[in-house]
Each structure stands twice: as structure tokens, then as C-alpha cells.
Structure 1
């Protein structure tokens, strides 16, 4: 005869197995009725718009979610590419990847599909090579929980583009005249009263959201207190713990109902977490500012210009026509603009170490971890003022202009 403790354990195991089976069933339903990327109304590949149409949500919300995921260590980049490869386009039988391996026909060319597949490698390298392993895993878990929530709570809805039923064509051979024409007195017959509907059961409000927020506040308070003795509890790690709590709350809410509002805490907190990992706020507080200088002599040019958040604008066009200048500029988050004289010989290196846009003396690049460089002799060829520039930005825009 089983003891009460063993019976409780069996109940727990059985409940866990049922829950896992429910998750698996929901994910299978998602794949069987996955979103379709529309041809109209999309901004890039139609992934966000397709998800919005499938689950009848505002497309802006879906796009904001991908932007927030992209800011969270770059997670949104491979996820969007995966959606582009695995979700079929409107009018296609299968997705681009399935079409490439012969599982059906699709409109995407093999070259485009292969290119998307190649782009997945640098996207994954950027995401998992940025050093925020814990935060990245938590963000991925939150994204999967969000997809699960959508499928579980809105998977039964018909896609917005297909919501209106098509008109029923007339049956061949059926009379086109009104049968009541033979009995005019029947026109005034009252319509039968609709059967009374039972009142809808009142939905019980879930406390998952409030409980999750409470746990998150306790974690934040505990991390602040523990940080006085344990160096590990930095602000970035505390934000990572809060992201984990919110993700767990979303997952719990998918079973118990409720907790959807947590996503509005998860998105801004992910942006904050990205800022804390991508930007170095240590050091001189004056680095959080804008720097604008127009040196008149070679000695006026500093060896280094720095800013954590802000911009550095350096105008070298007032320098004399001879001499040597060497300087480095580094901005964590913001803009760098350098103006050089028309006739100066410029050796330059421009880099965006995380995400940015470069336009350096005609050479352009944009994306994650991009750099350009070279030597430009100006309009009069070699000779005259020599300038050596080393310009770096973590996230932002870098421009070196000759005008």
C-alpha cells in the first residue's frame, strides 16, 4: 500500500508530465498552423507582420518585440532570419528552407535562401560572442515563452487576412425567385425569438502577474543588499536576474492564465540590460556628454577623445597645411563626425564593434561588427598635412567627411 507521501509524488509527476505534454502539443500546433509572411504591408521579410496577422495583434507590437530582442544581445537578429527561412510566404506551399531541400514549391529563389542561411552564421556569432551568455539564454527563454503564450491563447483565431468568409456561390439549378412570393401573407410573420444564452462564466483573475512582480521586487532588493558584500551582484547581473524572473512568470502564466502584462516590463528591461552590457559607465562622469572642438593648430588636437553616451564632433579644417596629427576617438553609444581638410593625407580606421553605420571618406558599411579603413590623399595628391585617425564606436554612427 502506497504511503501518502508517495501518492503526492505520483500526483506531482503526473501533473508535470501533463504540463510538458501540453507544451509539446501547443508547439506542434504552432508549427502546423504557423504564420504566413504576407507580400503586402511588410517592412522587410514580413515575419513580424505575418505573426501579427496570424494572432490578430497590432503589427507595431510584433515589430517592437523584434527590436527589443535585437537590442538584447542581438537575439532578435537570428530569430528574425529563422522566421524568414521557416515561415512560408503568401501563396507558397512551403517555407524557403523547405523549398530548397525539395519539400515543396516556393517563390523564393535558391540563391536568396542560401544567402539568408549564410547571414545566420554572423548573426549567431554576434549574439553568442557578445559575452552576455546568461542574459542571452534568459532572453531566448522569454521569446519562446511569448510564442507559446500566443499559440495557447490566440492560436484558435483565424488569421486576420482570412477572417471574412468567402461568399457562397449560388447552387446550380436552384430557383432565383423568392419562394415566399407564393405566400405573401407569410412576409409579415414574426422572426422566431433567439434562444436565451446562458451567461458567460466569469473569468477568474490570475495572480501570476502580481506574484511575479512581487518576486522581482524581492530579487532587486536582495541583490542591492547582497551587492555590498558580494561583487557578483552588479547592476547588469541584477537586471539579468529580473529578466529571468519575468520570463518564468510569463511561462507560469501560460499554464495558469494571466501574466500577459509582464511583457511590457520585459521589453524595456531588455533594453536597459543591453545598455548596461554594451556601454561602459565607469570612469569620469564628464564622458556622458557631447564634445565639439575645432582646433586651430596641430598641438591643439588631443591624443584621444572619449564619450560613453553622446557625440564627438571634431572639425580639423582649420589646421595648417603642413604637419602631422594623430588622434583616436571612441564613443560607446552615439555619433562621431570628423571633418578633414580637402588636401590632407588621411590614414583612417573606422569601426563599429557592436552595431553601427560607417561612412568614412567614401567607404560605407553598416551592421554588426563592421569596419573600414585606408588612406586618402585628397584632391592634390600626396603631400601636405598628414592626419592619422582611429575612430571607434560600440553602437552608433561614424562619419569622416572631406568637405
Structure 2
């Protein structure tokens, strides 16, 4: 079998089928634990040590290497015995008892993959194996023996062959004998399109073929796409309902879509899942990379303009939007204290304070910029804590602020 580079969904499906048919075989000797690294190295002609190093790095990177190794141990067959007259060992599937143990180990391992590094590690590992088979799938496969080529005709003039008696030969055709017992060829017969032998000069042309009947189209198994999309949506909603973060819920949906594409590659369906997986994957990466804060609040804007501390809530929260504190008209006397704050996933927090009140403020942005009185910071992890006693010094009431955004800006100024 030779590696053929195809493009598009057909190439993806063909590569998966080829990988499954010729997937690595875990050897009896040379493997350290299960023989997964040795199997991959032998199959694709690379040093197994490099494969082991890759698994170790993937394990450090969020634990993805453990899950990938257990999965390979489960699906890669084991080297069997040599059959009589054969030079290739048989491929034995993983035993039932070992398969049960591996599945029981994989279940907590999959639930372990809730962080962004682990999800990215699994995706990179599967993608690397796909590219490895696509480019080096012809390695480690015994080539199929080809039939010997037919002997070439002998060049030069051939001796004349006498014509047997009572043998009628068509006009213009070299005569031959019909004595098959002597290995001689029978007389040349006219083709079906020239039964009278009127055009022997054109007998070497191919027979006119009838138009081929169109092959029946394979039924499009759209149920695979529909069922996988429904299952992916249900899994992500269920994950969000039990408290999973947005990036984890999207990663679960992406995993279901990936399993649907793998199954569709063998069932000849599910191509529409590729178009659905691309935006879901991009959104999962975006939510994992960009800090979005706590998304349990609502979306929108809050404008807080109180005149007394009783009109201010202890905490304001928005998944996306903005929070404005206009405290310039707040009536707060000496000895009173107001504690409030805001948490915005994606957006801004702005605070305007009266000139004389004492303020203790924490201004933080996981990704963005912060301006807390005269102190500024920007970039990732900007966090400033400031104590300012106003123009008149200590006294005149105390305000404690805790302001945090995931992606956006925080600004605290005096009006």
C-alpha cells in the first residue's frame, strides 16, 4: 500500500480508513509498557524513544499523554503467532479483560481533561498521529507481490506457417493453422462489427463499447450528522448545567463532533460535521485563551448613582457589559463605611468618587488595562491596590472597592 495525499473530506476519510486497516501492532518484545510507543515507532519507521518522549511531554502538558497512551493500548492490536507458511505474524485484538481495565482507566482520565492545556494536548496528539500516517503511511507495510510480466513478443520476421487444408481465410488476413495441439494459433476471426470481413485493416481497433450505466448513488447518511449535532448540543448543555465552564462545555461538544467524524468515516457519512467542528473549535480555543471571568451573571450594563449607602448593593456582576459607579453625590459621613464591588467577564468598570472620601480600591484585569487613581497597568494580569484619603486627608467616610474584569478595563477617578 502506498501513501496517497488527497484533499478535502474524502482524503480525510481515506486516511482514517487506511490508518485503521494498518494501525500499529504492539510487539511482543521491545515494548516497555504495553508496547504502544514501540508499535508507533516500528509502523512509521521512527525511533520509539522519540515517541516515548512525546508521550511524556503530553503527560506533563495537562495529562493528555496518559489518556492517549491508554487509548492506543486499547485500539492497537497485539502481535500474534506466525501461521504455517507465512512470514507475517497475526494481529490479535486486545483481550477482553485488559480492554475492560483500560476502559475503566479511561473514564476518569477523560473527565480529568477539563483544563485547556489537556484538551489542546489531546488534539495535538491525535493531529500528529493523523499527519504521521498521512505522510508516512507506506512505511512498515509489506508490499503485495505482483504478477510476473508477460513475455515480450519476439522481434523480427516470423517463419511462415502453412495453412491447413479446408481452412477459409478472410481476404487480406495472414493465414494461420488451427492445429491447437501443436501450439499454433487458430485463424483470425472477424470482429462482431465486421461479420463479412470487409475491413480487415481495422480489426485491431477496440470493439465499440455500449454506454456504461450510471452507477447508483450511495445513499447519503445524513442521520449521522443530525444525530451527532444533537448529541453534541445535549452534551454541552448538560455540562454547562452541572457547572462546567464555557470552554469545557465547548470542548465536550467538540469531542462529540470528533467521534462523529471518526464514526462517519467508516459509515460513509457525516461530512457536514467538519463545517460544524471548525467554529466550535475556534470558539473553544478563544474562550480558553481569553480570560472571560465568571459567566454566572447577566449580560448588559449597570449604572449605579446612589445618594446614600443603603442604595448600593454589595456586589454587581455581568458576564458581558459594563458597570458604572457614579458616587459623586453619595452622602457618607465620618465613621461610615461602604463596601461594594463589580465583576465583569467581558467589558468595563468605571468608578467616579467624591473628592474628600477615603478610598481603598483593588483594580484588576486579567487581560486589559487598569487605571486606579494615578496608578496604571496593562496587559495580562494587571492588578493594582491603592489607598487614597482624598484632598482633605483622613476622615469623611470610607469606601472599599473590589473591581475585577476578565477582559476589558477598570478605571477609578475622583469627580
TM-score by length of 1: 0.43
Higher relative contact order (CA 8 A, sep 6+): 1
Larger helix proportion of the pair? 1
Larger of the two Rg values belongs to structure: 2
TM-score by length of 2: 0.42
